[in-house]
Amino acid sequence: MPIPVWDYRGEYAVERETILEAVERVFRSGRLILGGEVRAFEQRFADYCGLRFGVGVNSGTDALFIALKVLGIGSGDEVITVANTAVPTVSAIVSTGATPRFVDIDPATHLMDADQLEHAITPRTTCVLPVHLFGQCVRMERVQAISRKHGLFVLEDCAQAHGATRHGTMAGAMSDVAAFSFYPTKILGGYGDGGMVVTNDEALAARARRLRMYGMERESFAEEHGYNSRLDELHAAILLTKLDRLDSYVERRRALAARYHEALAETSLVLPQTDDANLHAYYLFVVRHPKRDRIIDELAKRDIAVNVSYRWPIHLMPAYRWLGYREGDLVYTERVMQEVFSLPMYPSLSEEDQDRVCASLHEILQIIDDGR
Ligand SMILES: Cc1ncc(COP(=O)(O)O)c(C=O)c1O
C-alpha cells in the first residue's frame, strides 16, 4: 500500500460522527455565514493561544494580509521575513504594497536567524514577520528585543505552529498580532480553507473584523475599504470539534517524531534539531541529505511519498526577482533547500507504516553510503 506524506482519511474514519454532527448542526441552523459557530471558534481558539481576540478569515494568507493591514503596513514600508517559507508569507506582504526584505536562517533549526535582524533594518522597516516553520518557534525574545529597540511591529506567521510553545508561551502570543492557517494539512486543519488573526489588542481585532467584511461594522455601510474574507460557519463548526483534540494531535506528532529520531539516529540523514526553549509541534519532520533527490526517487519506487519544504528560495523566484536579490545572498537558506525533504507525518500515520518508511530509508542509505 502506498504511504502518502499526509492523509486526512484515517482521522476522518475515527472522527466521522463528530464531524458530521457538526455539519448537520450548521445545515439545520439557518445560518451559514458569521454566526455562532464562528464566534465560538474564534473565542475558543484565542483562549487556547492565551489571547483575548480571534478573527476568523478565509485562509492563512488572508490572516497575514489582514494582520499587516491592521498594523497599517502598506506602500513604502519594508517587512523583514525569511525566504525559507511558504510563498504566501511573502505574497501577503506584497499584496499590502509593502516590500519584503529577507534575513538568512539558522542552519540548525531552519528558522529566522534573529541575530541577523538588525542588519536588515532600514529607515523604512516597520514590521518583522517571523515564521514558526515546521512546528517550531523562532527565538522570539531576541526578535522582540530588537523590534522594541527600533519601534517595529511584530507579526508571527503561525500557519505551521498550532500548539507549539517557546518558554511555555504559545505560538501566536509573542507578538502584536499573529496569523494562523487551518488549511487541511495543518496541525489544526479543516476540511477546506480557513485562517485566523489573533491578538490581545481590542482595536486591532475590531479593525480585522471590519476588514474581513467589506470594511463594514453595520450592514451595507463601509467605514473603510475592505475585503471579503470570512471563515464559514461550516468550517468553524468542524474546527471546533477538532480543537478539542489539538493537544492530542500534537502529542501524537511528537511521539511519531521521537520514533523517527530513534529509528534514524544512526543513519547519514541530518535529523531536525529542537531549540531547548521550544516545544516542537512537528508539523513536518524535516531531514537533510546531500543525495536528497536520489533518496526521494528510491522512496517513490517503494510507494512512499515525501515532501520538499522548500525546494526553491523565494528571493530567487521569478515572481520576486524585482526585489533585487541574487544567488548567494542568503547562504544557509539556499544551501539547506538543496538537501531538505520531509517524511510522512500526520496523527493517523500508523507505526507499521512509519516502520516501513524507516526500514526503506535504512536500505536506501546503505546503498548510497556504500557508493553504489
Ligand atoms: C508558513 C505559512 N504561511 C502561510 C500559509 C498560508 O496559509 P493558507 O494556505 O491557509 O493561505 C501557509 C500554508 O500554506 C504556510 O505554511
Q: Which domains does the chain have, with CATH numbers?
A: 9-102+110-243 (3.40.640.10), 246-369 (3.90.1150.10)
Closest ligand 1 atom number to CA of residue 59: 10
Residue 286 grid cell: 524535516
Atom number of ligand 1 nearest to Cα 182: 10
Whose C-alpha lies nearest to ligand 1, atom 10?
Answer: 60
Q: What cell does 51 get?
A: 489571547
Residue 120 to residues 28, 93, 124, 166: CA-CA distances in angstroms?
53, 16, 11, 24
Atom nearest to 194 CA in ligand 1: 10
Look at residue 126 and give its three-state secondary structure: strand
Question: Phi/psi at 360 (nearest 5 deg)?
Answer: -65, -40
The residue whose grid cell reads 478565509 is 58
Mean pLDDT, 10 residues at a time, the chain of 372 residues? 96 97 98 97 98 98 98 98 98 98 97 97 98 98 98 98 98 98 98 98 98 96 97 98 98 98 97 98 98 98 96 98 98 97 97 98 95 83
Nearest-CA residue for atom 14 of ligand 1: 86
DSSP letter (8 states) at residue 213: B
Does ligand 1 lie within 6 Å of residue 59's CB atom?
yes
What is the residue type of 352?
Answer: E
Q: Which helix (H) or strand (E) holds 160?
A: none
User: What radius of gyration, in Å, describes the C-alpha atoms of the chain?
Assistant: 21
Q: How far apart are the first and last CA of the chain?
A: 27
Number of residues that make up the chain: 372
What pLDDT does residue 19 have?
98
Nearest residue (by CA) to ligand 1, atom 7, is 60
Q: What are the φ/ψ torsions at residue 170 (nearest 5 degrees)?
A: -65, 145
Please choose, from the candidates 151, 192, 159, 156, the residue with its C-alpha nearest in 3D space to the C-alpha of residue 177: 156
Cα of 295 from ligand 1 centre, angstroms:
27
Q: Is the CB of 100 under 6 A from ligand 1?
A: no
The neighbouring-strand residues paired with 213 are 228
* pLDDT of amino acid 372: 79
State in Å: Cα 60 to ligand 1 middle: 5
Which residues face 223 on adjacent strands? none
What spacing in Å lies between the alpha carbon of 354 and ligand 1's midpoint? 26
Structure confidence at residue 367 (pLDDT): 95
What is the rounded distance in angstroms from the CA atom of residue 110 to the CA atom of residue 335?
A: 11
